A and B are shown apart, each in its own frame.
Chain A
Amino acid sequence: MKPSQIALVVALAASLVAPFFAYPVFLMTALCFALFAGAFNLLLGYAGLMSFGHAMFFGMAAYFFGHVVKAWGLPPELGLLAGVLGAAALGLVTGALAIRRQGIYFAMITLAFAQMVYFLCVQMPFTHGEDGLQGIERRALLGGLIPITDDRVLYYVVLAIFLFGYFCIYRFIHSPFGQVLKAIRDNEPRAVSLGYEADRYKLLAFVLSAALSGLAGATKAMVLQFATLTDVSAGQSGEVVLMALVGGLGTITGPIVGAFIIITMQNYLASFGEFVLVIQGAIFVVIVMAFRKGLVGEIADWWKSRGKKAG
């Protein structure tokens, strides 16, 4: 077995026994954000598009989930589906407009659309404004087969959702579609000259990323039982960028590592109040100045250079 396969088996085994050693709600939150960061990173790392407004998909999906389960009284499966489809539809509209510009403008446009969605969420009645949706019931899944009121049971459901989401990301990257996407990222005029319609590939990547962010957001609403304005805020968009950056932009496992680090940090620093912002900002600055590859990227580099020296 290759070292990466061993690592995968160890990680899977660890994730199965984790809820017996760590607080399940913490693990589930971290898994949701890991999926969210992975979806964001799919777009940045493999399509070269940095969205600074991904909270709109995450947050709106949380609202959709909450509305379907709480206001309509439907089972959580349909809530998850509504979250994914809603986020994908939002991704289709905003993505079609945003991909008309490139580079830094793309980041500004997505940021602006996310701010627009935020303002809409403040005003629309179904989001309940400043109060948000609270006390979303944890109704049993699959017609009563899986009671998710127990945190440990829900943990395995969330783990399954996370693995499904990450498997999708892995499949996209290692498919012909992913190869074309990388070609467009590296040299768009050349890909176009080979007959690929770059904009359609970019838009599809954007919609997929939005849908997976939506899956993460809806799952988060199922776990924590609320959806609030924080989920759609610019701060949330920045946080997911930070997670991917800490772990390593453009790496597959980086966003997972980054999400666990940032969520752990938030748990420990909760008592610092406003100062958390300063620490998060400082991490941004330090990483951009000194460790641009992120934790996973730097370790991978070190591993490679070590191998070269030995060989």
Chain B
Amino acid sequence: MFDFLGISPPALFGQMLLGLINGAFYAMLSLGLAVIFGLLNVINFTHGAQYMMGAFAAWLLLGIFNVPFWAALVLAPIIVGLIGVAIERLMLKRIYHLDHLYGFLLTFGLSLVIEGMFRWQWGSSGAPYPSPIPGGYNLGFMFLPTYRGFVVVAALVICLVTWYAIERTRLGAYLRAATENPTLVRAFGINVPRLITITYGVGVGLAALAGVLAAPIQQVSALMGTNLVLVVFAVVVIGGMGSIMGSIVTGFGLGLIEGMTKVFYPPASNTVIFVVMALVLLVKPAGLFGQTK
């Protein structure tokens, strides 16, 4: 067996896999943030809380109604997405005409309410969720748990389907047009407010779907979304929110960088993404895939 800079292949590839998994969640969450921001002009701070709600929905469905993981994968995003639709109809709708900051503050407040309620009800310690596909493969250079491999592939598929839906379908074309000029699109007889509601619902559903996928890997806890969303903000600043493909590439790429930092210099693994953000701000302030306005 070869050693690379004194690091054994299982450790290297194991961390690479972990990095890819983290990257998968960064990609899915920053994608949802970018889609919502494009149409609503709101940075959805609640995204982390909605991711957490997805994981909790799956956990509760399993614990109370004995709903298996694969059904929760469909049900949880729908439930959380519908809650998102209610939030959009009742609150977000009323503040679109204001400065972006108010959307940020409102969704920040909402995330405090949601997180606080979950902490109050279930505490801060995590609950385990059984892996739906236990076991794994020995690839010779590393051990690959089947479920983790599945998460990376599933996240890639979800990201690419979202990209296809926005860039290559008629609904996606309406959405892109409404992002550019909502008034004109309305003049063509398209119900833009409904399009906005649907977009927010789907964006939130995407966060919940990521939460369900995360449930068997992480502990299901009220705090799981808060820390993640702060890193995802850095990812969004690095990538820029102009391009869907950009969000996907940046998400996976930063996950890998973080994983590699864990191998070569573990103390910096928490902060490496923020360092990358600082460097990108120095070199290309608009973000790697962003357009300067």
Contact residues of A with B, CB < 8 Å? 50, 52, 97-98, 100-101, 103-105, 107-109, 111-113, 115-116, 119-120, 122-123, 234, 238, 241, 245, 273-285, 288-289, 292
Instruction: Write out the residue numbers on chain A whose beta carbons fall within 8 Å of the beta carbon of B95.
Output: 288-289
State whether A108 and B43 are in contact (beta carbons under 8 Å apart), knowing that A101-B281, A278-B113, A278-B116 are contacts in the complex.
yes
Instruction: Write out the residue numbers on chain B whose beta carbons fall within 8 Å of the beta carbon of A109.
Output: 237, 277, 281
Q: Are A285 and B274 in contact (CB under 8 A)?
A: no
Most B CB contacts (10 A, CB to CB) among A97, A105, A234 go to A105
Q: Are A105 and B105 in contact (CB under 8 A)?
A: no
Given A108-B237, A113-B274, A289-B106, 20 more pairs with CB closer than 8 A: A100-B285, A107-B43, A115-B230, A115-B231, A116-B271, A116-B275, A119-B270, A119-B271, A119-B274, A276-B116, A278-B112, A280-B116, A281-B110, A281-B112, A281-B113, A284-B110, A285-B106, A289-B91, A289-B94, A292-B102
Instruction: Write out the residue numbers on chain B whose beta carbons fall within 8 Å of the beta carbon of A278.
Output: 112-113, 116-117, 120
Instruction: Write out the residue numbers on chain B whose beta carbons fall within 8 Å of the beta carbon of A245.
Output: 105
Nearest B residue (CB) for A103: B100
B163 at interface, CB cutoff 8 A:
no
Nearest A residue (CB) for B33: A108
State whether A112 and B113 are in contact (beta carbons under 8 Å apart), knowing that A105-B237, A123-B267, A241-B105 are contacts in the complex.
no
Bound state CA distance, A130 and B242, in angstroms?
39
Bound state CA distance, A98 and B233, in angstroms?
13
Q: Are A284 and B108 in contact (CB under 8 A)?
A: yes
Bound state CA distance, A98 and B278, in angstroms?
9
Q: Are B113 and A285 in contact (CB under 8 A)?
A: yes
Most A CB contacts (10 A, CB to CB) among B110, B124, B230 go to B230
Q: Are B101 and A107 in contact (CB under 8 A)?
A: yes
Band of interface residues on B: 35 or more
Instruction: Write out the residue numbers on chain B whose beta carbons fall within 8 Å of the beta carbon of A280.
Output: 109, 112, 116
25 contacts between A and B (CB under 8 A): A52-B104, A100-B281, A101-B286, A103-B100, A104-B43, A105-B237, A107-B43, A108-B234, A112-B234, A115-B234, A119-B271, A119-B274, A234-B226, A238-B112, A241-B105, A275-B116, A278-B117, A281-B113, A281-B114, A281-B116, A284-B109, A284-B110, A285-B106, A285-B109, A292-B98
Bound state CA distance, A285 and B278, in angstroms?
31
Nearest B residue (CB) for A116: B274
Q: Which 9 A-B pairs have the closest CB atoms?
A: A284-B109, A281-B112, A277-B116, A281-B113, A116-B274, A278-B116, A100-B285, A112-B234, A119-B270
A59 shortest CB reach to chain B, Å? 15
Instruction: Write out the residue numbers on chain A whose beta carbons fall within 8 Å of the beta carbon of B286.
Output: 101
Instruction: Write out the residue numbers on chain A whose beta carbons fall within 8 Å of the beta carbon of B274.
Output: 112-113, 115-116, 119
